[in-house]
Amino acid sequence: MREFSIESLDDFLKRPLWDSHTMIFRGVSKASHNLIPSIARVPAKDDASKFEFEREIFEEFQKRATPYLRSEPKTKIEWLFLAQHYGIPTRLLDWTTNPLVALFFATQSNCEHDFAIYKKLQTEWLSGNIEPFKIKKEYGLKPSHSDIRYINQAGVFTIHPNHLVEHNKNSVAKYTFPASAKEEIRWRLGKYGIKTSFIYPNLDGISKDILEECKTRLNGGSMRSTSPFDWA
């Protein structure tokens, strides 16, 4: 994996980022966070126990979630997307094809910590009725765009049958930012339209945007680290 130190948003945007066909991005609010699917973080006595646990919690989720759904997922992979969304540990990792969306997620918490964006070269994709527990290698997956969140977030997934992310020097890059850049980047993303109500297009997202915008007046008009009159 190649690693780079980034000082600002402008520095990041000068990098080769915009090939949406092969490049995907994941933002982490702590630079120390590695690329690990959530199921890999579950403690278990051995791999066999962890794989058994993975199937058990997935099947239990399918059974118990059904009464709460207006429309039931049609395939196992759609069920897996749903389980991931609601906090079930899975072999999936969330990514986006938009580096600005990745920055949004990386700058929303842990303000005192350095943060990072992972960029991955993903050239192999699967689609259709996929059996997620029979896949033998890592692939990219594109969810159905029936949910506006997936559209706005440009969301995609990778699936990891061995619970580990395959990466080498040429396939993954990590861009690490200092904690001091977090507030400024978050402010600028909002000006570009990458704000909570865009990422989460619902009343919760609107409410959070209102609170963030009104804090400006509460704090005497100061919301960013540079002078509001420095417009050059």
Q: Shortest CA distance to 155 belongs to which of 136, 141, 172?
A: 141
Q: Shortest CA distance to 163 belongs to which of 137, 140, 141?
A: 137
Helices 76-85 and 47-65: crossing angle in degrees, nearest 10, is 90
**For residues 96-122, average pLDDT:** 94
Res 35 pLDDT > 90: yes
The amino acid present at 187, given as its one-letter code, is W
**189 within some domain:** no
Predicted local distance difference test score (pLDDT) of residue 90: 97
Helices 182-191 and 99-106: crossing angle in degrees, nearest 10, is 130
The reply to whether 130 and 44 lie within a common domain is yes
Annotate 13-31 with b (16+ C-beta within 10 A) or e (fewer): eeeebeeeeebbbbbbbeb
Res 225 pLDDT > 70: no
Which single residue is written with the structure tokens 């001091």?
Answer: 180
How many other CB atoms are there within 10 angstroms of residue 65's CB atom?
16
**172 within some domain:** yes
The reply to whether 205 and 172 lie within a common domain is no
Q: Shortest CA distance to 22 belongs to which of 142, 104, 117, 131?
A: 142
Range of the domain at 130: 2-181
The reply to whether 95 and 121 lie within a common domain is yes
The reply to whether 6 and 83 lie within a common domain is yes
Predicted local distance difference test score (pLDDT) of residue 224: 52
The reply to whether 198 and 176 lie within a common domain is no
**58 within some domain:** yes
**188 within some domain:** no
Mean per-residue pLDDT of the chain: 86
How many other CB atoms are there within 10 angstroms of residue 137's CB atom?
10
Give the model's confidence band at 219: pLDDT under 50 very low, under 70 low, under 90 confident, else very high: low
**For residues 81-106, average pLDDT:** 94
Give the model's confidence band at 227: pLDDT under 50 very low, under 70 low, under 90 confident, else very high: very low
Give the model's confidence band at 213: pLDDT under 50 very low, under 70 low, under 90 confident, else very high: confident
How many other CB atoms are there within 10 angstroms of residue 184's CB atom?
15
**For residues 78-103, average pLDDT:** 93
**229 within some domain:** no
**For residues 27-52, average pLDDT:** 94
**Cβ neighbourhood burial of 74 (10 Å; 0-12, 13-18, 19+):** exposed
More confident: 153 or 213: 153
The reply to whether 48 and 138 lie within a common domain is yes
**186 within some domain:** no
**230 within some domain:** no
**232 within some domain:** no
